[in-house]
Amino acid sequence: MGGVRGVQSPELLPDKWYNILPDLPEPLPPPRKPSGEVVSPSELEAIFPKELIRQETSTERWISIPEELRSLYLELGRPTPLIRARRLEQALDTPARIYFKYEGVLPTGSHKINTALAQAYYNRLEGVRRLTTETGAGQWGSALALAGAIFGLKVRVYMVRVSYEQKPYRRIVMQTYGAEVVPSPSPYTDAGRRILEKDPDNPGSLGIAISEAIEDAVKNPDTKYSLGSVLNHVLLHQTIIGLEAKRQLELLGEYPDVVIGAVGGGSNYAGLAYPFIHDRLRKNTGTRFVAVEPRAAPSMTRGEYRYDYGDTAGLTPLLKMHTLGHRYIPPPIHAGGLRYHGVAPTLSILVNHGVVEAVAYKQTEVFEAAVFFARTEGIIPAPESAHAVKAVIDEARKARREGEAKVILFNLSGHGLLDLKGYEDYLEGRLVDAEPEKIDLSYLPEVD
Ligand SMILES: *Cc1c(COP(=O)(O)O)cnc(C)c1O
CB neighbours (10 Å) of residue 358?
Answer: 22
Q: Shortest CA distance to 360 belongs to which of 327, 394, 401, 310?
A: 394
Distance 337 CA to ligand 1 centre (A): 5
Confidence at 181, pLDDT banded by 50, 70, 90: very high
What is the average pLDDT across 242-248? 97
What is the average pLDDT across 329-356? 92
Of residues 210 and 152, more confidently modeled:
152
What is the average pLDDT across 50-78? 97
Backbone angles phi, psi at 9, to 5 degrees: -75, 155
Per-residue pLDDT at 335 = 87
Of residues 115 and 434, more confidently modeled:
115
Residue 7 has pLDDT above 60, yes or no: no
Q: Which amino acid is at 345?
A: P
Element (H, E) at 99: strand 97-102
CA 382 to ligand 1: nearest atom: 13
Residue 1 has pLDDT above 60, yes or no: no
Residue 338 has pLDDT above 80, yes or no: yes
Measured CA to CA, the distance from residue 103 to residue 412 in angstroms comes to 6
- Average pLDDT for the chain: 94
Helix (H, G, I), strand (E, B) or coil at 157: strand
Confidence at 237, pLDDT banded by 50, 70, 90: very high
Per-residue pLDDT tens digits for 193-205: 999 999 999 988 8
Residue 168 near residue 137, CB atoms below 8 Å? no
Per-residue pLDDT at 3 = 43
Distance 171 CA to ligand 1 centre (A): 17
Residue 91 near residue 369, CB atoms below 8 Å? no
Domain boundaries along the sequence of the chain = 18-58+110-232, 64-109+235-427
In this structure, which residue's CA is closest to atom 10 in ligand 1?
384
Distance 313 CA to ligand 1 centre (A): 23
User: Around 15, how many Cα atoms within 13 Å sit in the side-chain half-sphere?
Assistant: 3
Distance 52 CA to ligand 1 centre (A): 20
Residue 6 has pLDDT above 80, yes or no: no
Q: Do domains 18-58+110-232 and 64-109+235-427 have the same CATH topology?
A: yes
Per-residue pLDDT at 5 = 54
Q: What is the CATH number of domain 64-109+235-427?
A: 3.40.50.1100
CA 110 to ligand 1: nearest atom: 13
* Per-residue burial over 171-190, b = 16 or more CB atoms within 10 Å of its CB, e = otherwise: bebbeebebebbbbbbeebe
CATH 3.40.50.1100 fits 18-58+110-232, yes or no: yes
Per-residue pLDDT at 77 = 94
Residue 167 has pLDDT above 90, yes or no: no
Distances in Å between the Cα of 293 and the Cα atoms of 17, 126, 247 are 25, 36, 27
Largest CA distance in the chain: 61
Per-residue pLDDT tens digits for 73-109: 999 999 999 999 999 999 999 999 999 999 999 999 9
Partners of 182 in beta bridges: 158
Per-residue pLDDT at 428 = 98
Residue 2 has pLDDT above 70, yes or no: no
Measured CA to CA, the distance from residue 418 to residue 168 in angstroms comes to 9
What is the average pLDDT across 181-189? 97
Measured CA to CA, the distance from residue 17 to residue 160 in angstroms comes to 31
Per-residue pLDDT at 334 = 86
Distance 196 CA to ligand 1 centre (A): 27
Query: Which protein residues are within 6 Å of ligand 1, measured from CB?
Result: 110, 112, 139-140, 229, 262-269, 337-338, 382, 384-385, 413-414
Per-residue pLDDT at 8 = 65
In this structure, which residue's CA is closest to atom 1 in ligand 1?
337
Question: Which of 103-107, 203-207, 364-368, 426-430 is predicted least confidently?
Answer: 203-207
pTM of the model: 0.96
